[in-house]
Structure 1
Amino acid sequence: APRGEGDLPALPDFPENWTYKDGEPDYVFELPVEYEIAAEGQEDYLDFYVAIPWNEDRFAEVIEFRPSNRSVVHHAGAYVVDLPPGTRVGEHGILETLDGEVLDRDAASKLSRKNSTRIEQQVFNQFNLAGSSKLISYVPGRGVERFMPGTGKRVTAGKYVRFTMHYNAVGQVETDQSKLGLWFNTKPVTHEVLTRQAGNPVPTSAFGHDIYIVQGEEIVPTLDENGERVRPKIPNIPPYEGNWKITGITPITEPITLYGLSPHMHLRGKSLRWVVTYPDGREDTVLDVPEFDFNWQIHYELAEPMHIPAGSKITGIGVYDNSLNNRWNPGPQLEVYWGDQSWDEMYQAFTEYTIDSQDLTRQVETTDNEQQ
């Protein structure tokens, strides 16, 4: 097309260094290897481990995930984790057995589930609270999170930061060595920020379980041959279905304070909405993303923290479009599975909150053994 009249707007300024306005982080974790991404082919998820070097727990008030090569980082995450029993961190930060056998993500996950004795519920151990592991996600449009002074993400002494990386080939060989920057708390932390999903129970609910409703029907857990609860499988999205819905419900069993929300879906994602229903039946739409865009995913911070009383519920309503009307749809004629790749789907209605009763200034440190 011919060029129109007038001057072109200035090009956007994409900072090359840390984007958080207060400059250099207080501490930086770096991927332990400059990883090479092949020119073609599908890259599996990769986990890299870096030891946390301090002797006492610290809290991050600001966290930034910064790829060195954004063109190949499809998305990534940083987590505080224990190593699975019988493993160690080998060359280049990759997990391996004590005999030196390299473990992929699936093998490490199975080993962790098989041998883990860690108690997840906070009513037994205040430092193993579900939702405390995740530090941050990086996706297009998102990579910095700030927490209210007096709250923050715990970075636990003696554990490891796990970089979970999903790379995309771009037609030529590329490399990446991502970094994780932390700005520590500026005032004493009273409450730990948890990252949970709409549909997950509040961690202090000893008998809570996931609640998901798909196309109007609740999917429920089953028991395996050992009597262990098996997480229910979400049904696949049918071909040409333009308004397929999944709803996650979190009953609020004790008061919480809500700070932020992050929608994550893939190419069939159409919309995602969070609604708080109060004990008296009133409803409040906290966030509505009516036109979800996989190419620009945003973390939404509430202007003011939101106090939610016990007896309420948080509902996350996700809608998917697998029809011809979805311009991003790579295959409307295909059944859509739930998985890691962009052509699969995800429902992640991330919800960040603190539990009002869990005042760190009034708690006494305990261990799993003391509580069992």
Structure 2
Amino acid sequence: MKKTTLSAALVLTAVWGLQAQAGVDPLTQIQPPASEWTHDGSAPDHIVEVPPFAVPATGVIDYINTVIPLEFGEEKWVKAVQFIPGDKRVLHHLLSYVVADDQNNEGTIDEADNDPRREFLEGYAPGKEYATEFPTNTGIKVPVGSALRMSVHYTSFGQETVDNTKVGMWFYDENETPDLEFHTHSVSARDLAIPPGDMNHEMAASHVFEDDIVLHGFRAHMHYRGKAMSARVIYPDNTVENIINVADYNFAWQPTYRMDEPMVLPAGSRVVVEGLFDNSEYNPGNPDPTVPAVSGPQSWEEMFIGYFSYTDLPE
């Protein structure tokens, strides 16, 4: 079994498609995209228009649950997806799932819950500026009779605005059906209670994969008090390998870190997510360092979730 570690250089190569060179700052090689749609220079095969929403200047906005039928008439496989916010200033995040159009799709989505009735498509968060392209020969299956269910979170910023976000999807051709489905599993800690003034509050969560998988990527998610997050795997033989270390977590930079060389995790492997929160006055983004930070969906509350993107092990 070949093991690999996600390094900073390959993260940039994987996320931005850059060729890292010694002595060259990869960020200087980034060129503005020629169009708003960034996958292979083409327009999406299908665009979902998120219903426009008037964001008030002030106030707390509950999560919005939107379900849009995908009336394709035939099974589709998504090979790339991109989110274009109508107004980045107010779109905190958007999560999208492929669901059956005939099930009960009402209510608020718990993003830390791995509900088997839905398949995570992709999400938008600060830092996601480009299309997400699934690895070769993998994709997200959209069966006939599906819908796109979205959880949309807006935050006010002192000025009224209207958001009309777009979701673009590119499909495999009919004769190019991939062999592997791309999945995402969230590993989270709930019931957070971060004491006021604590600069290095530790948190951890874990999950055991019961089947062989191939790990392709990872995304860290916390709110304004998030300071650092790392992930490692404990193999069935009790050997340990680091997966990633996001040593300086920033709420405004939440990309999915994609591996150049995926990791094979045999059945029984335990992934462990560990992190730090800074609930002190020395954290300039802290909404209120004088009160405990507790779990909740709003930005001034906290979350602790590590997202693992994977496929089954090819036969």
TM range (shorter): 0.7 to 0.9
**Equivalent position of 1:90 in the other structure:** none
Partner of 2:145: 158
SS at match of 2:194: coil
Residue among 234, 242, 253 paired with 2:191 = 234
> Max radius of gyration: which structure?
1
Quote the residue 1:302 is aligned against. Answer: 259
Conserved 8 A contact 1:132-1:195: no
Quick one: distance in 1 between partners of 2:203 and 2:124?
24
SS in 1 for 2:259: strand
CA contact (8 A) 1:140 1:295 kept: yes
Q: Deviations over 1:280-327 (max 9, x none)?
A: 332211110011001111210011221111232111112211122322
| Equivalent position of 2:172 in the other structure | 185
What's the CA shift string for 1:340-363, capped at 9, x where partnerless? 111100111000011227x7xxxx
Note closer, same or farther for the CA distance 1:304–1:166 as it changes in structure 2 (3 Å cut).
same
Give the number of equivalent residue pairs: 282
Residues of 2 paired with 1:283 and 1:131: CA distance?
32
Higher-strand-fraction structure: 2
1:137 and 2:123 correspond = yes
Higher RCO by CA contacts (8 Å cutoff, separation 6 or greater): 2
Report SS of the residue matched to 2:74.
coil
Write the deviation string for residues 129-161 of structure 1: whole angstroms up to 9, x where unpaired: 838521111111025321112111122321211
Whichever residue aligns with residue 53 of structure 1, its letter is E
Report what 1:59 is aligned to: 77
Two-structure CA RMSD over aligned residues (Å): 2.8
Q: Gaps (5+ residues) in structure 2?
A: 1-27
Q: Residue in 2 aligned with 1:101?
A: none
Separation (CA, whole Å) in 1 of partners of 2:33 and 2:97: 26
Summarize deviations over 1:46-100 as a string: whole Å, max 9, x none: 112211112332111111111122222111111122458678xxxxxxx6xxxxx
The verdict on how the C-alpha distance between 1:315 and 1:145 changes in structure 2, with shifts beyond 3 A counting, is: same
CA contact (8 A) 1:18 1:24 kept: yes
List per-residue Cα deviations over 1:155-180 (Å, max 9, x = no partner).
23212112221112232221111111
After TM superposition, the score normalised by the length of structure 2 is 0.81
Deviates more, 1:289-298 or 1:141-150: 141-150
Aligned-pair distance for 1:16?
A: 6.3
Alignment of 1:35-74 (within 5 A): 35-74=53-92
What is the TM-score normalised by the length of structure 1?
0.69
- Whether contact under 8 Å (1:131, 1:195) holds in the other structure is no
The residue that corresponds to 1:169 in the other structure is 156
Q: Give the counterpart letter for 1:249 in structure 2.
A: S
How far the C-alpha of 1:256 sits from its partner, in A, is 0.4
Q: Give the aligned partner of residue 321 of structure 1.
A: 278
Q: Distance in 1 between matches of 2:272 and 2:104?
A: 40
Q: What is the distance in 2 between the residues matched to 1:51 and 1:166?
A: 20
Task: Report % sequence identity.
Answer: 30
Aligned to 2:200: 243
The residue aligned with 1:24 is 43
Cα offset for 1:21?
A: 3.9
Change (3 A) 1:83 1:297: same
Counterpart residue type for residue 150 of structure 2: F
Instruction: Give the CA deviation at 1:235.
Output: 3.8
Equivalent residue letter for 2:39:
Y
**CA–CA separation in structure 2 for the residues paired with 1:35 and 1:245:** 37
Amino acid at match of 2:124: Y
Q: What residue number does 1:370 align with?
A: none
- SS at the partner of 1:198? strand
What does 1:199-238 align with in structure 2 at a 5 Å threshold?
233-238=190-195
In 2, the alpha carbon distance for the partners of 1:270 and 1:281 equals 28
Q: 1:15 to 1:169 in 2, by over 3 A?
A: farther
Q: Which residue of 1 aligns with 2:290?
A: 333
